[in-house]
Chain A
Amino acid sequence: MYTQLFGHYLLNNGVIDADELHAALTAMSRIKAKLGAAAIDAGYMTAEQVEEVHEAQHTVDKRFGDIAVEKGFLTEEQVRSLLSRQKNANLVLGQALIDFGFITNKQFEDSLFDYKKKFSLIAGDTEEERLENEMIEVLGINSMPDKDFYSEYALLFIRNLIRFLGDDFSLSGVVRNTTISMNYGCSQDVTGAVNFRVSLGGTERGFLGIAARYAGEDLNEVDGYTKACVGELLNLQNGLFAVNESNIRGVELVLSPQVSEDNLMMNIPESGLAVTLSFPFGDIKIAVVKQ
């Protein structure tokens, strides 16, 4: 039940059996993902188009990428981008399963899409994607030096907010290059390939609101339990971010235990991001500063 691993997702959903998973996991160190699997993962090609290129390779002595470009399935730039994704762990596992004949390209395409959707690796639909792009625009992330990091972090946070607290919030402020304060807050340091600190909290009402909704309980005073609830939501957000980084980029991040702080002050540099969101129960703040 190692469900976060794509292989165990396939196992749990009956796409492959335990012996097939074991064989593929053992073979992973010996292989790298081929362009066809990478193109499906990136959403550049369908399984049918990949099969068409494979068929063509039986009759002409050309590389997969060259044929795909000739057929108009890929651009040269997309081929270059795909070559850099071939170490992605899920892709390598998928490739091993395809090579062994345990799954087809079509099963790989369908399962990978469902897997990414389930674990919030991609937006659920085009409307969600449109709203996400709007959010990036509103937060002014496009002009930031580390826009990839901040946009990935912010979008995951928004999805988690909707999932665990509800969608009845509005964006009421974005600040940089200033010091922000929270009556109650929780902070967590994340280290590794990227290093950053995140603080989540707000006014007393805001803090209690986060804790109450996340726990699904009536909570009326800030105490150790409510602080643990807010800390757990922060830990969940950072944990899922670390999982995504591990699955997509193959890098490991380490999370420090969360720390609660009353009257929390945090310096937000020009390269950082602090956002205030208004819920009916009160205002909450999240601040992210990459080192």
Chain B
Amino acid sequence: MKISDITVMLCDDSPLVRKKLAEILARIGITKIIHTEDGEQAINEYKEKKPDLVFMDIVMPKKTGIEALREIRAFDSEAKVVMASTVGTQGNLIAAIKEGAFEFLQKPVKEEDVLKIINRMLKG
């Protein structure tokens, strides 16, 4: 897969976080971005558009990121969902691992960490 072919869904209620992540992704050539603002919207958009990678916040309205992760993975067991949250507590980390998260990023997100994730994803 070419890097420019990758579609990434950003799910965060903060437009600032989505903007910063989109900027990082654009710098490495990923411009196919789907923006979602809560867990419920993320589930619906995922089912419709099947993005290659998802960056998911945890603290969000309607449905939390962990709930959305669970539903997305139930729909697609191969889904690659990166939890990106300020709340990297032991409980959330364990829940993310248990629900099959691809990675966990502690906010504020660093560019180098995003690059590592994209590399890992490309390597399969």
A interface residue numbers (CB < 8 A to B): 1-5, 89, 214-215, 224-225, 228-229, 231-232, 235-236, 238-240, 242-243, 245-247, 250, 252-253, 255-257
* A257-B60 contact, Cβ under 8 Å, with A1-B103, A225-B16, A243-B89: yes
Q: In the bound complex, do residue A224 and residue B15 qualify as a contact, i.e. CB atoms below 8 Å apart?
A: yes
Task: Count how many pairs of residues, one from A and one from B, have CB atoms less than 8 Å apart in the complex.
Answer: 82
Which residues of B have CB within 8 Å of A250?
90
10 contacts between A and B (CB under 8 A): A1-B117, A2-B88, A3-B105, A4-B88, A224-B15, A228-B14, A235-B14, A235-B59, A240-B86, A252-B90
Which residues of B have CB within 8 Å of A243?
86-89, 106
Closest to B38 in A: A257
State whether the Cβ of B107 lies closer than 8 Å to any Cβ in chain A.
Answer: yes
Q: Nearest 10 CB-CB pairs, A to B?
A: A239-B86, A4-B88, A246-B89, A252-B91, A239-B87, A232-B14, A255-B59, A246-B90, A236-B86, A2-B104
Q: In the bound complex, do residue B93 and residue A2 qualify as a contact, i.e. CB atoms below 8 Å apart?
A: yes
Which residues of B have CB within 8 Å of A5?
88, 90, 93
State whether the Cβ of B29 lies closer than 8 Å to any Cβ in chain A.
Answer: no
* A242-B87 contact, Cβ under 8 Å, with A1-B113, A4-B93, A235-B59: yes
Which residues of B have CB within 8 Å of A232?
14, 16-17
Which residues of A have CB within 8 Å of B86?
235-236, 238-240, 243, 255
Choose among A214, A236, A245 the residue that contacts B107 (Cβ–Cβ < 8 A): A236
State whether the Cβ of B85 lies closer than 8 Å to any Cβ in chain A.
Answer: yes
Query: Count of chain B residues with Cβ under 8 Å from any Cβ of A?
Result: 26
Main secondary structure of the interface of A (DSSP, over half): helix
Residue among A89, A231, A253, A257 with the most chain B CB within 10 A? A257
Q: Mark B86-120, 1 if CB is under 8 A from A, else 0.
A: 11111101000100000111111000010011000
Q: In the bound complex, do residue B90 and residue A236 qualify as a contact, i.e. CB atoms below 8 Å apart?
A: no
Give Cα distance in the complex from A291 to B87, angstroms. 21
* A247-B61 contact, Cβ under 8 Å, with A2-B104, A4-B106: no
State whether the Cβ of B13 lies closer than 8 Å to any Cβ in chain A.
Answer: yes
